[in-house]
A = this chain, B = another copy of it.
Amino acid sequence: MKRNELIENIKRKGSFLCVGLDTDIKKIPSHLLDSDDPVYEFNKAIIDATAPYCVAYKPNLAFYEATGAQGWITLEKTLRYLKENYPDQFIIADAKRGDIGNTSKLYARSFFEHLDVDAITVAPYMGEDSVTPFLGYEGKWVILLALTSNKGSRDFQFIEDKEGTRLFEHVITTSQKWASPEEMMYVVGATQGEMFKDIRRVAPDSFLLVPGVGAQGGSLEDVARYGMNADCGLLVNSSRGIIFASSGTDYAEAAANEAEKLQKQMHAILSEAGII
């Protein structure tokens, strides 16, 4: 999906919500466990319930790999279901891959050709030749980890060089030489609040994928206040807060309610900013 289509979808739906399909088989309602593929059944119902309120889905690969080949089959079925029924959804494989060039090339083939997702999250530690093999696919995106939502982000991402530039700023500044904002986004955790100001100083035009709202405690208002640009420029992800809103038979309805709540807040934020 191209940048202008994504922006159109955000405006049309009054939403920049991404629903994280972190589907842990240990947490899905027990009545689903009798079906052939409980995770797939769960995902289908969650997608049908939340699609009106979001513009993107983000399956986290760990939750599928946890059950090996069976998990991959479930992932492939989920992606096919999304593409056939909701072709306007932006699909992010949250994989955090990154390896030497010939290996990253294979990951790119796996995610952009075989799974045919719109975007993949990539870890920056190994530098340019670990990232560039993911570029150059028409309408496909790299989403580079910049400033993550977890406590451990403090360990290395804030290390300052002699000029006071922090590692996450280096990552953003350097990687903008590799790709335009038409094909690269950044992960910036919602828990990093006013850091969004510093991020926008170095990446004014880029889309930011923002995890950490909800279960991890980040504030949607802060993210929008400091992180939004003229195109919106944000995809805010919520996973557990939506998909596990209820563990009963009403799980899909509960997920829809949570997604709708966020969508309404987002609609108000987009209106106020004059974007819609």
Q: Is the beta-carbon distance between B114 and A127 smaller than 8 angstroms?
A: no
Q: Is A131 part of the contact surface with B, judged by Cβ < 8 Å?
A: yes
Q: Is A161 part of the contact surface with B, judged by Cβ < 8 Å?
A: yes
Chain B hits for A126, CB < 8 A: 123, 145, 148, 150, 152-153
Q: Is A76 part of the contact surface with B, judged by Cβ < 8 Å?
A: yes
Q: Is the beta-carbon distance between B127 and A153 smaller than 8 angstroms?
A: yes
List the one stretch of A11-19, A61-69, A224-232 in contact with chain B: A61-69
CB distance from A113 to the nearest CB of B (A): 9
Q: Is A41 part of the contact surface with B, judged by Cβ < 8 Å?
A: no
Q: Is A103 part of the contact surface with B, judged by Cβ < 8 Å?
A: yes
List the one stretch of A44-52, A166-174, A201-209, A245-253 in contact with chain B: A166-174
Q: Is A179 part of the contact surface with B, judged by Cβ < 8 Å?
A: no
Of the candidates B101, B160, B167, the one whose C-beta lies within 8 Å of that of A150 is: B101
Q: Is A222 part of the contact surface with B, judged by Cβ < 8 Å?
A: no
Interface string of A83-116 (1 = CB under 8 A from B): 0000000000010111111011011011000110
**With A127-B157, A153-B126 as contacts: A22 and B114 at CB distance below 8 Å:** no
Q: Is the beta-carbon distance between B68 and A114 smaller than 8 angstroms?
A: yes
CB distance from A106 to the nearest CB of B (A): 4
Assembly CA distance A73 to B67 (angstroms)? 11
Assembly CA distance A104 to B60 (angstroms)? 11
Supply 9 further A-B pairs (C-beta < 8 A) apart from A62-B106, A69-B76, A155-B174. A62-B99, A69-B73, A100-B149, A123-B126, A125-B125, A127-B150, A127-B155, A129-B151, A156-B170
